[in-house]
Structure 1
Amino acid sequence: MIPAQPALGRRALALGLLALSGRARAADAWPSRPVTIVAPFTPGGPVDVLARVIAQGVQAGGGQPAVVDNRVGAQGNIGIDAVRRAAPDGHTLLLVPAGNLTINPTLMGNLPFVVERDFAPISLLATAPNVIVCANDLPVRSIPELVAYARTQRDGLTYASPGVGSQLHLAGELLAQRTGMPMLHVPYKGSSQALTDVIAGNVQLLFTNLPATLAAIRGGQVRALALTTAARAPAAPEIPTLEELGVGGFDITSWYGLMAPRATPAATQAALFEAIRAVLHAPATRAALEAQGLTVTDEGLAAFGERIRRETETWAEVIRARNIQSGL
């Protein structure tokens, strides 16, 4: 979990927003009234903290109040639906993690929204690498050794994740599918207790965010085996990727994005993207996020929409092939 950050430098953020393109300003003056960013999870978590960073930047440079609305419930779906029903004028926005957009639509069959139909992808905001760690008493030091060892165990290996249907749960299922490695999922309600149990040797593996686990890795409490991302992480360049270790086509990154109601005018969407891009590249914003192991990523509009579509297809295949149930 990312701890709350101190107030960002308003001057730095304002200077960043002054770099908005003249074209975007002329197309649609935004914001023209107060902005609400809906964070569909509890205060203090990564979604909330990131939403407050963005809100403060928007307010500093846009001349309008910007507030975060923690609309909690139903694994984020209450807040998401509230934005679906909001006026499509760019002043009510949604900040969500990957799983709510790319996993839940397949995992949960009764959602009141359809992502592609009801939302416009404004910008990817930040990414965080995922890592596979193991208990120190597990006699392996690499993914090839892990796969070979798992095949000698009658019941396979146990692996923890932050919960059923989470991106990290499905990352474990995808690895099992790609390697033929037998694994039993042990769900938790978050990463902290899962990490504690791996350190204690109660569970053998953990799929988690690198920022949440780096201190334990550095302290020798757990052993890092591989990143699930396509490239190595600047924060831990010594940890190889699954791709490097022979598991091809494996690129799973935790990310957070900003969405608007689908009917938001194209000119307003463009103005939004330029404004948010300026906030993200303000030095104070970048420093606050990078200190937590997040990488600022201003992938916008078409590219962000394509990411959502591609990952939704990937996870739908895994969910169906592994017969994963939400439990709700």
Structure 2
Amino acid sequence: MKLSVSCVPVKRVLMGLVVSLYACGLPAHAESQPVRMVVPFSAGSYTDTVARLIAPAMSERLGTGIIVENRPGANGLVGADHVAKAAPNGMTILVGGASVNSINPGLYRTLPYDPVKDLLPVARIGILPFLLVVHPGVPAKTLAEFIAYARSNPGKLAYATPNAATLVGMETFKRSAGLDILSVPYKSSPQAMVDLAGNHVQVLIADIATAKPQVDAGKARLLAVTMDRRSPLLPDVPAMSESVKGFNLSAWTGLLAPAGTPPDAIQRISDALMAALETPDLRQRLSEIGFDIQPLGPAEFGPYLRAEIADYKQLIKDAGIELQ
């Protein structure tokens, strides 16, 4: 039977179209609205770099623009809180990570949002290794020499801490090695790296993208990678676990969405990321900044995140870090 459009009220047709759009996990007119990808750290930080690498490839697959928006402050709490309180329509996502989502819940007495209930896991992108670097003026060529020097000069060295991951890492290292090194907070890793090169601080745990150029320029000395194994990108650089038994510090980067975001929207964003991570060009560019691609979808990412929160709470307690 042939149905004439004139037999169906226009209002009903329009309402049906809107419902169809929401059923797909998207708000009406989503095709013309850019997705906001919120980075809770400054421009130029590692998280920001990863976000700006994945955004174009994801945008192509989502069929809409993506705007990378930096909202730094309070170890990432400002950006995370903004996303937690954003409209749950699939158009705002957080580029989160270990510092913001795994460590802050155990580092702060109270948070302005619930880290598990208010931010839903979308996808983990991968793992980030760190490097332990010192100013060239520090008379130590190896980690063992640095430990010996720091022990004989208590309170005379300072380390920069641009995020919660490096804070927990350094305090764990200090406690394990019996060191007295002053902590100096920074808003971003690039800023901390500049001050290390200028000898305002002498020690820093930083990502490869931030630290390696300064090491290559002779403005910083690389002592170790912070993981429990050597990095394939730097096979000749020892792991900290070779001198400090059991030491293992790495961080993850991933996407999260406000609570209440439709499951279809979360899956759609996750699928776009997974497809983007399969492209050779993006994989190469992430590899060049030392990023180890290890994706997890929403179902796997959730349990991983909850386990990370519990593990870091124990690390923070063991390291004797005062809650903020």
TM over 0.5: yes
Cα distance between partner residues in 1 of 2:301 and 2:62: 24
Give the 3 Å change call, closer, same or farther, for CA 30–232 of structure 1 in structure 2: farther
1:220 pairs, out of 215, 218, 221, with 218
Give the 3 Å change call, closer, same or farther, for CA 130–262 of structure 1 in structure 2: same
Residues 208 and 289, structure 2, Cα contact 8 Å, conserved in 1: no
2:306 is matched with 309
| Secondary structure at the counterpart of residue 125 of structure 1 | strand
Residues 159 and 207, structure 1, Cα contact 8 Å, conserved in 2: no
Residues 134 and 222, structure 2, Cα contact 8 Å, conserved in 1: yes
1:158 is matched with 157
| Secondary structure at the counterpart of residue 176 of structure 2 | helix
| Secondary structure at the counterpart of residue 295 of structure 2 | coil
Cα shift readout 1:120-165 (whole Å, capped 9, x = no counterpart): 2111224332111223343333223333333333x255242243x5
TM-superposed CA distance for 1:189, in Å, is 3.8
Cα distance between partner residues in 1 of 2:205 and 2:44: 22
Identity %: 31
After TM superposition, the structure 1 stretch with the greater mean CA deviation from structure 2, 220-229 or 34-43, is 34-43
After TM superposition, the structure 1 stretch with the greater mean CA deviation from structure 2, 302-311 or 171-180, is 302-311
1:241 pairs, out of 215, 239, 242, with 239
TM-superposed CA distance for 1:43, in Å, is 4.3
| Secondary structure at the counterpart of residue 123 of structure 2 | strand
Cα shift readout 1:195-214 (whole Å, capped 9, x = no counterpart): 34444555432222222111
The reply to whether residue 95 of structure 1 matches residue 95 of structure 2 is yes
Question: TM-score normalized by structure 2?
Answer: 0.77
Give the 3 Å change call, closer, same or farther, for CA 84–141 of structure 1 in structure 2: same
Residues 158 and 186, structure 1, Cα contact 8 Å, conserved in 2: no
Cα shift readout 1:238-290 (whole Å, capped 9, x = no counterpart): 111112x1423322123321002333444543443222111122223223333
Cα distance between partner residues in 2 of 1:275 and 1:193: 32
| Secondary structure at the counterpart of residue 281 of structure 1 | coil
TM-superposed CA distance for 1:80, in Å, is 2.2
TM-superposed CA distance for 1:168, in Å, is 1.0
2:168 is matched with 170
Cα distance between partner residues in 1 of 2:136 and 2:250: 25
Q: Of the two, which has the highest radius of gyration? A: 2
Residues 128 and 211, structure 1, Cα contact 8 Å, conserved in 2: no
Give the 3 Å change call, closer, same or farther, for CA 182–307 of structure 1 in structure 2: farther
Q: How does 1:267-286 map to 2 (within 5 A)?
A: 267-286=264-283
The reply to whether residue 67 of structure 1 matches residue 67 of structure 2 is yes
| Secondary structure at the counterpart of residue 93 of structure 1 | strand
| Secondary structure at the counterpart of residue 297 of structure 1 | strand
Give structure 2 stretches of 5+ with no counterpart.
1-22
Give the 3 Å change call, closer, same or farther, for CA 45–218 of structure 1 in structure 2: closer
Question: TM-score normalized by structure 1?
Answer: 0.76
Superposition CA RMSD, Å: 3.0
Give the 3 Å change call, closer, same or farther, for CA 230–40 of structure 1 in structure 2: same
TM-superposed CA distance for 1:87, in Å, is 4.2
The reply to whether residue 255 of structure 1 matches residue 252 of structure 2 is yes
Q: How many residues are paired up?
A: 296
Cα distance between partner residues in 2 of 1:226 and 1:37: 33
Cα distance between partner residues in 2 of 1:305 and 1:71: 24
Cα shift readout 1:24-57 (whole Å, capped 9, x = no counterpart): xxxx856672433223344454434433433322
TM-superposed CA distance for 1:76, in Å, is 3.5
After TM superposition, the structure 1 stretch with the greater mean CA deviation from structure 2, 282-291 or 40-49, is 40-49
